[in-house]
Structure 1
Amino acid sequence: MKPVLVFSRTTGFRHDSIPAGVRAVGELRPGVEATEDPDAFTPGNLARFAAVVFMNTNGHVLTDAGRTALEGYVRGGGGFLGVHSAAATEYDWQFYGDLVGAWFDRHPQVQSARVTRVDPDHPATAHLPVSGSRVDEWYDFRSYPDARILLRVDESTYVGGGMGVDHPLAWCHERLGGRSLYTGLGHTIEAYAEPAFRAHLAHALRWVTGESA
Protein backbone atom coordinates (compact mmCIF):
# COMPACT_ATOMS: atom_id res chain seq x y z
CA MET A 1 0.00 0.00 0.00
CA LYS A 2 1.43 3.36 -1.04
CA PRO A 3 1.64 6.09 1.61
CA VAL A 4 -0.43 9.28 1.61
CA LEU A 5 1.03 12.80 1.71
CA VAL A 6 -0.71 15.23 4.08
CA PHE A 7 0.06 18.87 3.27
CA SER A 8 -0.98 21.60 5.71
CA ARG A 9 0.91 24.74 4.73
CA THR A 10 -0.86 28.08 5.24
CA THR A 11 0.04 31.61 4.17
CA GLY A 12 -3.28 33.11 5.29
CA PHE A 13 -5.61 32.12 8.12
CA ARG A 14 -4.36 29.11 10.06
CA HIS A 15 -6.79 26.71 11.69
CA ASP A 16 -6.00 25.55 15.22
CA SER A 17 -7.33 22.13 14.20
CA ILE A 18 -4.50 21.39 11.76
CA PRO A 19 -2.45 19.27 14.20
CA ALA A 20 -5.55 17.27 15.13
CA GLY A 21 -6.38 16.75 11.46
CA VAL A 22 -2.90 15.60 10.55
CA ARG A 23 -2.82 13.28 13.55
CA ALA A 24 -6.25 11.84 12.68
CA VAL A 25 -5.23 10.95 9.13
CA GLY A 26 -2.12 9.27 10.50
CA GLU A 27 -4.24 7.22 12.87
CA LEU A 28 -6.70 6.27 10.16
CA ARG A 29 -4.19 5.08 7.60
CA PRO A 30 -0.69 3.56 7.84
CA GLY A 31 2.16 5.17 6.00
CA VAL A 32 1.13 8.83 6.20
CA GLU A 33 3.79 11.46 5.61
CA ALA A 34 3.00 15.01 6.76
CA THR A 35 4.73 18.14 5.51
CA GLU A 36 4.40 21.89 5.10
CA ASP A 37 7.32 22.06 2.66
CA PRO A 38 6.22 23.07 -0.85
CA ASP A 39 9.42 21.54 -2.21
CA ALA A 40 7.86 18.13 -1.52
CA PHE A 41 5.82 18.69 -4.68
CA THR A 42 8.04 17.22 -7.36
CA PRO A 43 7.03 14.58 -9.93
CA GLY A 44 9.38 12.00 -8.45
CA ASN A 45 8.28 12.52 -4.86
CA LEU A 46 4.55 12.64 -5.59
CA ALA A 47 4.82 9.38 -7.53
CA ARG A 48 5.45 7.65 -4.18
CA PHE A 49 1.97 8.51 -2.87
CA ALA A 50 -1.47 7.04 -3.41
CA ALA A 51 -3.08 10.41 -2.66
CA VAL A 52 -2.38 13.95 -1.51
CA VAL A 53 -4.44 15.47 1.31
CA PHE A 54 -4.69 19.25 1.63
CA MET A 55 -5.48 19.53 5.33
CA ASN A 56 -6.86 23.02 6.04
CA THR A 57 -4.36 24.65 3.72
CA ASN A 58 -4.91 28.36 3.13
CA GLY A 59 -3.54 30.95 0.74
CA HIS A 60 -0.77 30.56 -1.83
CA VAL A 61 1.03 27.41 -0.70
CA LEU A 62 2.78 25.96 -3.79
CA THR A 63 5.62 27.13 -5.98
CA ASP A 64 5.16 27.25 -9.75
CA ALA A 65 7.12 24.01 -10.00
CA GLY A 66 4.93 22.48 -7.30
CA ARG A 67 1.79 23.45 -9.18
CA THR A 68 3.09 21.77 -12.30
CA ALA A 69 3.97 18.65 -10.33
CA LEU A 70 0.56 18.43 -8.63
CA GLU A 71 -1.29 18.90 -11.90
CA GLY A 72 0.77 16.19 -13.57
CA TYR A 73 0.20 13.89 -10.61
CA VAL A 74 -3.59 14.29 -10.71
CA ARG A 75 -3.84 14.07 -14.49
CA GLY A 76 -1.80 10.89 -14.25
CA GLY A 77 -4.35 9.30 -11.92
CA GLY A 78 -3.26 10.52 -8.47
CA GLY A 79 -5.86 10.99 -5.75
CA PHE A 80 -6.68 14.26 -3.99
CA LEU A 81 -8.60 14.94 -0.77
CA GLY A 82 -9.31 18.53 0.27
CA VAL A 83 -10.44 19.29 3.82
CA HIS A 84 -12.31 22.48 4.82
CA SER A 85 -10.07 25.47 3.98
CA ALA A 86 -8.43 23.57 1.14
CA ALA A 87 -11.15 25.53 -0.68
CA ALA A 88 -9.48 28.78 0.43
CA THR A 89 -6.21 27.92 -1.32
CA GLU A 90 -4.48 28.87 -4.60
CA TYR A 91 -7.22 31.26 -5.73
CA ASP A 92 -5.29 32.35 -8.82
CA TRP A 93 -4.75 28.83 -10.18
CA GLN A 94 -7.68 27.59 -12.26
CA PHE A 95 -6.59 23.96 -12.28
CA TYR A 96 -6.69 23.90 -8.50
CA GLY A 97 -10.15 25.46 -8.47
CA ASP A 98 -11.32 22.77 -10.87
CA LEU A 99 -9.63 20.10 -8.74
CA VAL A 100 -11.27 21.16 -5.47
CA GLY A 101 -14.53 21.98 -7.23
CA ALA A 102 -15.31 25.41 -5.76
CA TRP A 103 -13.53 28.16 -3.89
CA PHE A 104 -14.50 29.47 -0.45
CA ASP A 105 -16.34 32.79 -0.40
CA ARG A 106 -17.49 33.59 3.15
CA HIS A 107 -18.83 32.05 6.36
CA PRO A 108 -20.92 33.06 9.36
CA GLN A 109 -19.88 32.32 12.93
CA VAL A 110 -19.31 28.73 14.00
CA GLN A 111 -22.65 27.21 15.00
CA SER A 112 -24.81 24.11 14.89
CA ALA A 113 -26.60 23.14 11.67
CA ARG A 114 -28.24 20.10 10.15
CA VAL A 115 -26.24 18.12 7.59
CA THR A 116 -28.15 16.06 5.04
CA ARG A 117 -26.73 13.00 3.32
CA VAL A 118 -27.32 13.32 -0.41
CA ASP A 119 -25.52 10.21 -1.64
CA PRO A 120 -26.09 7.02 0.40
CA ASP A 121 -24.05 4.95 -2.04
CA HIS A 122 -20.68 6.69 -1.82
CA PRO A 123 -18.24 5.08 0.66
CA ALA A 124 -17.50 8.44 2.31
CA THR A 125 -21.15 9.01 3.21
CA ALA A 126 -22.81 5.57 3.26
CA HIS A 127 -22.23 5.27 7.03
CA LEU A 128 -23.76 8.66 7.87
CA PRO A 129 -27.37 9.22 8.95
CA VAL A 130 -29.85 10.71 6.49
CA SER A 131 -29.59 13.92 8.51
CA GLY A 132 -27.99 15.03 11.74
CA SER A 133 -26.86 18.15 13.58
CA ARG A 134 -23.26 19.13 14.16
CA VAL A 135 -21.16 22.20 14.92
CA ASP A 136 -18.81 23.51 12.24
CA GLU A 137 -17.91 26.56 10.18
CA TRP A 138 -20.35 26.56 7.27
CA TYR A 139 -18.71 27.81 4.09
CA ASP A 140 -20.46 29.60 1.27
CA PHE A 141 -18.68 28.95 -2.03
CA ARG A 142 -18.11 31.24 -4.99
CA SER A 143 -19.76 28.79 -7.38
CA TYR A 144 -21.71 25.54 -7.36
CA PRO A 145 -19.40 22.55 -7.90
CA ASP A 146 -19.67 20.55 -11.12
CA ALA A 147 -19.41 17.32 -9.18
CA ARG A 148 -21.23 14.45 -7.50
CA ILE A 149 -22.75 16.01 -4.37
CA LEU A 150 -22.38 13.89 -1.23
CA LEU A 151 -23.58 16.15 1.60
CA ARG A 152 -25.57 19.36 1.96
CA VAL A 153 -26.03 21.73 4.89
CA ASP A 154 -29.56 22.94 5.61
CA GLU A 155 -29.50 26.75 5.70
CA SER A 156 -32.84 26.84 7.52
CA THR A 157 -31.09 25.41 10.60
CA TYR A 158 -28.42 28.09 11.04
CA VAL A 159 -27.93 31.84 10.66
CA GLY A 160 -25.93 33.44 7.85
CA GLY A 161 -25.97 30.97 4.97
CA GLY A 162 -25.95 32.50 1.50
CA MET A 163 -26.27 29.70 -1.05
CA GLY A 164 -29.94 28.82 -0.69
CA VAL A 165 -31.80 25.55 -0.31
CA ASP A 166 -29.22 23.56 -2.28
CA HIS A 167 -26.06 24.26 -0.29
CA PRO A 168 -23.34 21.69 -1.09
CA LEU A 169 -20.98 20.63 1.68
CA ALA A 170 -19.03 17.66 0.30
CA TRP A 171 -18.59 16.37 -3.24
CA CYS A 172 -16.34 14.34 -5.53
CA HIS A 173 -15.40 13.98 -9.19
CA GLU A 174 -13.05 12.09 -11.51
CA ARG A 175 -12.91 14.50 -14.43
CA LEU A 176 -9.23 15.54 -14.29
CA GLY A 177 -7.63 12.11 -14.48
CA GLY A 178 -7.55 11.13 -10.83
CA ARG A 179 -10.18 11.03 -8.10
CA SER A 180 -10.87 14.18 -6.09
CA LEU A 181 -13.05 14.57 -3.00
CA TYR A 182 -13.66 17.73 -1.00
CA THR A 183 -15.36 18.04 2.37
CA GLY A 184 -16.28 21.36 3.93
CA LEU A 185 -16.30 19.78 7.38
CA GLY A 186 -13.24 19.90 9.64
CA HIS A 187 -12.99 23.39 11.15
CA THR A 188 -13.02 22.36 14.80
CA ILE A 189 -10.45 20.43 16.79
CA GLU A 190 -13.22 18.28 18.24
CA ALA A 191 -14.31 17.06 14.80
CA TYR A 192 -11.21 14.92 14.42
CA ALA A 193 -12.12 12.86 17.49
CA GLU A 194 -15.69 12.19 16.30
CA PRO A 195 -16.18 8.60 15.03
CA ALA A 196 -18.56 9.62 12.22
CA PHE A 197 -16.26 12.33 10.87
CA ARG A 198 -13.20 10.12 11.19
CA ALA A 199 -15.02 7.43 9.19
CA HIS A 200 -15.94 10.09 6.62
CA LEU A 201 -12.24 10.93 6.21
CA ALA A 202 -11.12 7.30 6.21
CA HIS A 203 -13.57 6.25 3.51
CA ALA A 204 -12.86 9.41 1.52
CA LEU A 205 -9.18 8.46 1.53
CA ARG A 206 -9.95 4.93 0.41
CA TRP A 207 -12.04 6.28 -2.44
CA VAL A 208 -9.53 8.83 -3.73
CA THR A 209 -6.76 6.23 -3.62
CA GLY A 210 -8.92 3.85 -5.67
CA GLU A 211 -9.11 1.28 -2.89
CA SER A 212 -12.93 1.40 -2.86
CA ALA A 213 -15.54 1.88 -5.60
Structure 2
Amino acid sequence: MRKRILLTTLSIVLFGIIINNSAYARKQKVLVFSKTLGFHHNSIKQGIDAIQKLGLANKFEVDTTTNSTYFNDKNLKQYAAVIFLSTTGDVLNNEQQAAFEKYIQAGGGFAGVHSATDCEYNWPWFGNLVGAYFAGHPNQQQATLNVTDRKHISTEHLPEQWKRKDEWYNFRNVAQGLNVLIFIDEKSYDAGKNKMGDNHPIAWYHKYDGGRSFYTGLGHTEESFAEPLFLQHLLGGIKYAMGRKK
Protein backbone atom coordinates (compact mmCIF):
# COMPACT_ATOMS: atom_id res chain seq x y z
CA MET A 1 0.00 0.00 0.00
CA ARG A 2 2.75 2.40 0.96
CA LYS A 3 4.62 1.44 -2.20
CA ARG A 4 1.55 2.18 -4.31
CA ILE A 5 1.08 5.60 -2.66
CA LEU A 6 4.77 6.38 -3.15
CA LEU A 7 4.62 5.44 -6.82
CA THR A 8 1.46 7.50 -7.30
CA THR A 9 3.03 10.51 -5.60
CA LEU A 10 6.18 10.12 -7.68
CA SER A 11 4.12 9.93 -10.87
CA ILE A 12 2.27 13.13 -9.97
CA VAL A 13 5.57 14.93 -9.25
CA LEU A 14 7.11 13.74 -12.51
CA PHE A 15 3.99 14.72 -14.43
CA GLY A 16 4.16 18.17 -12.87
CA ILE A 17 7.81 18.51 -13.85
CA ILE A 18 7.04 17.52 -17.45
CA ILE A 19 4.17 20.01 -17.66
CA ASN A 20 6.28 22.79 -16.14
CA ASN A 21 9.20 22.03 -18.46
CA SER A 22 6.87 22.05 -21.48
CA ALA A 23 5.45 25.41 -20.43
CA TYR A 24 8.97 26.73 -19.85
CA ALA A 25 10.01 25.55 -23.32
CA ARG A 26 7.08 27.38 -24.88
CA LYS A 27 7.99 30.52 -23.03
CA GLN A 28 11.55 30.37 -24.33
CA LYS A 29 10.71 30.43 -28.06
CA VAL A 30 10.17 33.31 -30.50
CA LEU A 31 8.99 33.60 -34.08
CA VAL A 32 10.75 36.01 -36.45
CA PHE A 33 8.36 37.07 -39.21
CA SER A 34 9.93 38.97 -42.12
CA LYS A 35 7.41 38.93 -44.97
CA THR A 36 7.60 41.91 -47.34
CA LEU A 37 5.05 43.01 -49.92
CA GLY A 38 6.57 46.47 -50.24
CA PHE A 39 10.18 47.55 -49.85
CA HIS A 40 12.50 44.67 -48.97
CA HIS A 41 15.34 45.54 -46.61
CA ASN A 42 18.66 43.89 -47.42
CA SER A 43 19.38 43.87 -43.69
CA ILE A 44 16.70 41.25 -43.00
CA LYS A 45 19.21 38.44 -43.52
CA GLN A 46 21.64 40.02 -41.07
CA GLY A 47 18.76 40.62 -38.67
CA ILE A 48 17.69 36.97 -38.72
CA ASP A 49 21.27 35.80 -38.22
CA ALA A 50 21.74 38.22 -35.32
CA ILE A 51 18.52 37.19 -33.55
CA GLN A 52 19.43 33.53 -33.93
CA LYS A 53 22.80 34.21 -32.30
CA LEU A 54 21.12 36.20 -29.53
CA GLY A 55 18.82 33.25 -28.95
CA LEU A 56 21.70 30.80 -28.64
CA ALA A 57 23.52 33.08 -26.22
CA ASN A 58 20.42 33.83 -24.13
CA LYS A 59 18.68 30.45 -24.04
CA PHE A 60 15.69 30.99 -26.28
CA GLU A 61 14.79 29.22 -29.51
CA VAL A 62 14.23 31.14 -32.74
CA ASP A 63 11.93 30.10 -35.58
CA THR A 64 11.91 32.22 -38.74
CA THR A 65 9.37 32.52 -41.54
CA THR A 66 7.93 34.67 -44.31
CA ASN A 67 4.89 32.37 -44.43
CA SER A 68 1.71 34.03 -43.15
CA THR A 69 0.02 30.67 -42.53
CA TYR A 70 2.14 30.40 -39.35
CA PHE A 71 -0.41 32.83 -37.89
CA ASN A 72 -2.99 30.39 -36.61
CA ASP A 73 -4.26 29.66 -33.10
CA LYS A 74 -2.46 26.33 -32.66
CA ASN A 75 0.94 27.45 -33.95
CA LEU A 76 1.14 30.81 -32.19
CA LYS A 77 0.58 29.24 -28.77
CA GLN A 78 4.14 27.90 -28.71
CA TYR A 79 5.78 31.35 -28.85
CA ALA A 80 6.55 33.76 -26.05
CA ALA A 81 6.89 36.56 -28.60
CA VAL A 82 6.49 37.27 -32.30
CA ILE A 83 9.02 39.59 -33.93
CA PHE A 84 8.05 41.57 -37.03
CA LEU A 85 11.47 42.13 -38.61
CA SER A 86 11.23 44.90 -41.23
CA THR A 87 7.90 43.66 -42.57
CA THR A 88 6.20 45.76 -45.24
CA GLY A 89 2.78 45.78 -46.86
CA ASP A 90 -0.42 43.88 -46.11
CA VAL A 91 1.19 40.70 -44.78
CA LEU A 92 -1.72 38.92 -43.02
CA ASN A 93 -5.23 38.09 -44.19
CA ASN A 94 -8.32 38.55 -42.02
CA GLU A 95 -8.20 35.06 -40.50
CA GLN A 96 -4.50 35.41 -39.67
CA GLN A 97 -5.09 38.83 -38.16
CA ALA A 98 -7.80 37.40 -35.92
CA ALA A 99 -5.44 34.63 -34.75
CA PHE A 100 -2.73 37.16 -33.92
CA GLU A 101 -5.18 39.33 -31.99
CA LYS A 102 -6.22 36.30 -29.92
CA TYR A 103 -2.56 35.48 -29.30
CA ILE A 104 -1.83 38.96 -27.91
CA GLN A 105 -5.07 39.01 -25.91
CA ALA A 106 -3.97 35.73 -24.29
CA GLY A 107 -0.79 37.42 -23.00
CA GLY A 108 1.52 37.05 -25.99
CA GLY A 109 4.38 39.38 -26.85
CA PHE A 110 5.25 41.48 -29.90
CA ALA A 111 8.51 43.11 -30.95
CA GLY A 112 8.65 45.34 -34.02
CA VAL A 113 11.87 46.28 -35.78
CA HIS A 114 12.27 49.23 -38.18
CA SER A 115 9.66 48.89 -40.94
CA ALA A 116 7.26 46.91 -38.75
CA THR A 117 5.48 50.30 -38.76
CA ASP A 118 5.31 50.19 -42.58
CA CYS A 119 2.72 47.45 -42.85
CA GLU A 120 -0.95 46.68 -42.20
CA TYR A 121 -2.19 50.26 -42.65
CA ASN A 122 -5.80 49.05 -42.88
CA TRP A 123 -5.70 47.16 -39.58
CA PRO A 124 -6.11 49.76 -36.80
CA TRP A 125 -5.59 47.15 -34.05
CA PHE A 126 -2.10 46.49 -35.38
CA GLY A 127 -1.37 50.20 -35.64
CA ASN A 128 -2.12 50.55 -31.95
CA LEU A 129 -0.10 47.42 -31.12
CA VAL A 130 3.05 48.54 -32.92
CA GLY A 131 2.43 52.10 -31.72
CA ALA A 132 2.56 54.21 -34.90
CA TYR A 133 2.63 54.12 -38.69
CA PHE A 134 5.53 55.08 -40.95
CA ALA A 135 5.29 58.55 -42.52
CA GLY A 136 8.54 58.79 -44.49
CA HIS A 137 12.25 59.27 -43.93
CA PRO A 138 15.16 61.42 -45.10
CA ASN A 139 18.49 60.07 -46.35
CA GLN A 140 20.49 57.86 -44.03
CA GLN A 141 22.66 59.98 -41.75
CA GLN A 142 24.07 60.30 -38.27
CA ALA A 143 21.76 61.67 -35.58
CA THR A 144 21.73 62.09 -31.83
CA LEU A 145 19.35 59.94 -29.82
CA ASN A 146 18.25 61.03 -26.36
CA VAL A 147 17.77 57.96 -24.19
CA THR A 148 15.20 59.22 -21.71
CA ASP A 149 14.41 55.90 -20.01
CA ARG A 150 17.55 54.01 -19.00
CA LYS A 151 15.80 51.70 -16.55
CA HIS A 152 14.22 49.47 -19.19
CA ILE A 153 15.89 46.20 -20.12
CA SER A 154 16.40 47.47 -23.70
CA THR A 155 18.08 50.76 -22.77
CA GLU A 156 19.79 50.30 -19.40
CA HIS A 157 23.15 49.81 -21.15
CA LEU A 158 22.89 52.91 -23.36
CA PRO A 159 24.44 56.34 -22.83
CA GLU A 160 22.11 59.29 -22.27
CA GLN A 161 23.05 60.56 -25.72
CA TRP A 162 23.69 58.00 -28.40
CA LYS A 163 25.07 59.08 -31.76
CA ARG A 164 24.73 56.65 -34.65
CA LYS A 165 23.90 56.40 -38.34
CA ASP A 166 20.65 54.84 -39.53
CA GLU A 167 17.52 55.55 -41.55
CA TRP A 168 15.39 57.72 -39.29
CA TYR A 169 11.63 57.30 -39.58
CA ASN A 170 9.00 59.96 -39.13
CA PHE A 171 5.68 58.61 -37.83
CA ARG A 172 1.97 59.33 -37.95
CA ASN A 173 -0.96 58.05 -35.90
CA VAL A 174 1.21 57.67 -32.82
CA ALA A 175 -0.76 55.71 -30.21
CA GLN A 176 -1.67 57.07 -26.81
CA GLY A 177 0.03 55.74 -23.69
CA LEU A 178 3.35 54.67 -25.16
CA ASN A 179 6.29 54.44 -22.79
CA VAL A 180 8.91 56.21 -24.88
CA LEU A 181 12.46 54.96 -24.37
CA ILE A 182 14.33 57.06 -26.93
CA PHE A 183 13.63 60.36 -28.65
CA ILE A 184 15.58 61.53 -31.68
CA ASP A 185 16.92 65.09 -31.71
CA GLU A 186 15.73 66.61 -34.98
CA LYS A 187 18.22 69.44 -34.56
CA SER A 188 21.05 66.93 -34.97
CA TYR A 189 20.11 65.89 -38.53
CA ASP A 190 17.98 66.81 -41.54
CA ALA A 191 14.60 65.23 -40.73
CA GLY A 192 13.21 65.94 -44.21
CA LYS A 193 9.46 66.00 -44.78
CA ASN A 194 6.88 65.15 -42.12
CA LYS A 195 9.05 66.44 -39.28
CA MET A 196 7.73 65.69 -35.83
CA GLY A 197 9.54 68.40 -33.89
CA ASP A 198 10.70 68.00 -30.29
CA ASN A 199 8.33 65.09 -29.67
CA HIS A 200 9.88 62.55 -32.03
CA PRO A 201 10.00 59.08 -30.42
CA ILE A 202 12.07 56.35 -32.06
CA ALA A 203 11.74 53.45 -29.58
CA TRP A 204 9.03 52.58 -27.07
CA TYR A 205 7.11 49.85 -25.27
CA HIS A 206 3.62 49.43 -23.82
CA LYS A 207 1.05 46.93 -22.60
CA TYR A 208 -1.66 46.46 -25.18
CA ASP A 209 -4.87 44.41 -25.27
CA GLY A 210 -3.59 41.85 -22.78
CA GLY A 211 -0.08 41.51 -24.20
CA ARG A 212 3.29 43.26 -24.38
CA SER A 213 4.65 45.36 -27.26
CA PHE A 214 8.11 46.76 -27.98
CA TYR A 215 9.18 48.75 -31.05
CA THR A 216 12.46 50.18 -32.23
CA GLY A 217 12.79 52.30 -35.37
CA LEU A 218 16.47 51.41 -35.58
CA GLY A 219 17.83 48.61 -37.75
CA HIS A 220 17.67 49.67 -41.39
CA THR A 221 21.34 49.13 -42.14
CA GLU A 222 23.14 45.81 -42.39
CA GLU A 223 25.82 47.23 -40.10
CA SER A 224 23.25 47.71 -37.31
CA PHE A 225 23.17 43.96 -36.69
CA ALA A 226 26.88 43.86 -35.91
CA GLU A 227 26.72 46.86 -33.57
CA PRO A 228 26.98 45.81 -29.89
CA LEU A 229 24.89 48.67 -28.46
CA PHE A 230 22.08 48.10 -30.96
CA LEU A 231 22.16 44.32 -30.49
CA GLN A 232 21.80 44.74 -26.73
CA HIS A 233 18.94 47.19 -27.32
CA LEU A 234 17.23 44.68 -29.62
CA LEU A 235 17.83 41.81 -27.19
CA GLY A 236 16.29 43.80 -24.34
CA GLY A 237 13.22 44.53 -26.45
CA ILE A 238 12.82 40.86 -27.34
CA LYS A 239 13.19 39.86 -23.69
CA TYR A 240 10.55 42.40 -22.68
CA ALA A 241 8.18 41.03 -25.34
CA MET A 242 8.83 37.52 -24.05
CA GLY A 243 8.02 38.60 -20.50
CA ARG A 244 11.59 38.18 -19.29
CA LYS A 245 13.12 40.70 -16.92
CA LYS A 246 16.74 39.69 -17.54
Q: Give yes or no for TM over 0.5.
A: yes
2:31, 2:62 within 8 Å by CA — same for their partners in 1? Answer: yes
2:149 touches 2:180 (CA, 8 Å); kept in 1?
Answer: yes
Q: For 2:181 and 2:66, how far apart are their aligned partners in 1?
A: 29
Q: CA deviation at 1:144?
A: 3.1
Computed over aligned residues only, the root mean square deviation of the Cα atoms, in angstroms, reads 1.0
Find the counterpart in structure 2 of residue 83 from structure 1. 113
**Tell me, what secondary structure is at the counterpart of 2:211?**
coil
* 2:63 is the alignment partner of 1:63: no
Q: Does 1:156 align with 2:187?
A: yes
Alignment partners' CA distance in 2, 1:121 and 1:41: 33
Distance (whole Å) between structure 1 residues aligned to residue 67 and residue 206 of structure 2: 27
1:143, 1:89 → 2: CA distance?
13
Post-superposition offset of 1:27: 0.6
Q: Which structure shows the higher helix fraction?
A: 2
Gaps of 5+ in 1: none
Aligned length: 213
2:69 aligned partner: 39
The residue aligned with 2:128 is 98
Pairing partner for 1:16 from 32, 42, 49? 42
Of 107, 118, 121, 2:137 maps to 107
1:142 paired residue number: 172
Q: Identify the residue that residue 197 of structure 1 maps to in structure 2.
A: 230
Specify every segment of 5 or more residues in structure 2 that has no aligned partner in the other structure, as ranges.
1-24
Mapping of residues 159-174 of structure 1, within 5 Å: 159-161=190-192, 162-174=195-207
Aligned equivalent of 2:6:
none
SS across alignment from 1:179:
strand
Cα displacement (A) at 1:119: 0.5
Structure 2 distance, partners of 1:172, 1:160, is 23
Tell me which structure has the larger Cα radius of gyration.
Answer: 2
2:52 pairs with 4, 26, 46, which one?
A: 26
Q: Counterparts of 2:37 and 2:149 in 1: how far apart (Å)?
A: 34
- Tell me the equivalent position of 2:16: none
**How far did 1:166 drift?**
1.6
Inter-partner Cα distance in structure 2 for 1:116 and 1:14: 29
The two structures have a TM-score, normalised by structure 1, of 0.97
**Deviation string, structure 1 residues 136-156 (Cα, Å, up to 9, x no partner):** 111110133320000011100
Tell me the equivalent position of 2:5. none
Name the structure 1 match of 2:157: 127
TM-score, L = length of structure 2? 0.85
Q: Quick one: percent identity of the two aligned structures?
A: 45
**Aligned-pair CA distance for 1:34:** 0.2
Runs of 4+ aligned structure 1 residues displaced above 3 Å come to: none
